[in-house]
């Protein structure tokens, strides 16, 4: 237990060091270092409540001197976040102080029954991207917060509409087919893949014949992995054969967001 506590404390210190970093790593005079903590503080100044950090990850570095400057991602629960179906408004924030990424902010939500973040497409909220040469970066944060209440209202309305949209088994199949054809990469699907597997419910909270629950089932199955596919391999003599394999969990935050935004666009077309 003492070892576990030490690891947790070290992780907390690493996170604190990264998000409070106010300097840049080997950057030009034009570079404006934006501390992630300053962004959270600015949101607090504007709304009266600081977002709650519910998730954090950071890129590994090869040089020890780059520790504290690297690319990182925060998942935050937003102020007054509660909505329908146990869903809360969330913000995903990317930043770095080593030129590996600009400051990027995506809006979305998280269901109480789910560990997968939902990230909306342009139909709900345009992502914010701030270059580290923009001295007046706070203006972009203010604009995001100006639109926050409207974004939340549109999100609640969208969820209500999705929950009211009946989806037949045929529609579920066509939805899964579109996801397979338009979004999924061969590294996920292998050589043979039955897209109807995307519609399997693994939790009672995902059972339902509406678009909202169909959306949640597809998202869960793609991001959590564990569904069957055939992949092509070669034996020692070079002869090709197919073998059954399970899809892998998607852990890369950037890939998760890209999939979420594309999935949301398809759902909005169905809606």
Q: Which residues contact 41 (CB under 8 A, 6 or more apart)?
A: 50
Residue ranges of domains in the chain: 2-161, 165-270
Work out the pLDDT band at 25, boundaries 50, 70, 90: confident
Q: What is the pTM of this model?
A: 0.84
C-beta separation of 88 from 81 below 8 A: yes
pLDDT surpassing 60 at residue 238: yes
Query: What integer pLDDT is reported at residue 14 of this predicted model?
Result: 62
The total of other beta-carbon atoms located within 10 Å of residue 136's CB is 9
Work out the pLDDT band at 13, boundaries 50, 70, 90: low
pLDDT surpassing 70 at residue 239: yes
* pLDDT tens-digit readout, 47-88: 888 888 888 888 888 888 888 888 999 999 887 888 888 888
C-beta separation of 26 from 96 below 8 A: no
Give me the residue label for tokens 């914010």.
Answer: 128
Query: What integer pLDDT is reported at residue 17 of this predicted model?
Result: 83
């Amino acid at each position: 237990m003492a070892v576990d506590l030490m690891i947790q404390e070290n992780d907390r210190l690493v996170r604190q060091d990264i998000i409070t970093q106010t300097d840049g790593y080997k950057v030009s005079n034009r570079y404006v270092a934006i501390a992630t903590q300053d962004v959270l503080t600015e949101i607090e100044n504007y709304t009266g409540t600081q977002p709650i950090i519910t998730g954090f990850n950071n890129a590994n570095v090869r040089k020890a001197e780059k520790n504290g400057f690297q690319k990182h991602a925060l998942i935050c629960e937003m102020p007054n976040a509660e909505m329908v179906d146990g869903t809360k408004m969330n913000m995903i924030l990317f930043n770095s102080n080593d030129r590996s990424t600009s400051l990027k902010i995506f809006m979305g939500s998280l269901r109480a029954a789910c560990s997968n973040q939902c990230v909306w497409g342009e139909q709900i909220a345009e992502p914010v991207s701030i270059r580290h040469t923009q001295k007046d970066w706070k203006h972009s944060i203010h604009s995001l917060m100006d639109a926050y209440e409207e974004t939340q209202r549109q999100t609640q309305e969208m969820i209500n509409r999705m929950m009211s949209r009946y989806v037949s088994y045929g529609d579920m199949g066509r939805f899964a087919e579109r996801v397979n054809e338009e979004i999924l990469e061969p590294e996920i699907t292998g050589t043979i893949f039955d897209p109807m597997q995307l519609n399997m419910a693994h939790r009672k909270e995902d059972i339902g014949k509406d678009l909202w629950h169909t959306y949640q089932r597809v998202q869960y199955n793609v991001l959590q992995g564990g569904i069957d596919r055939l992949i092509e391999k070669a034996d020692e003599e070079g002869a090709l054969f197919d073998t059954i394999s399970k899809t892998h969990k998607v852990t890369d935050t950037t890939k998760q967001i890209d999939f979420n935004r594309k999935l949301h666009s398809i759902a909005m077309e169905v809606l």
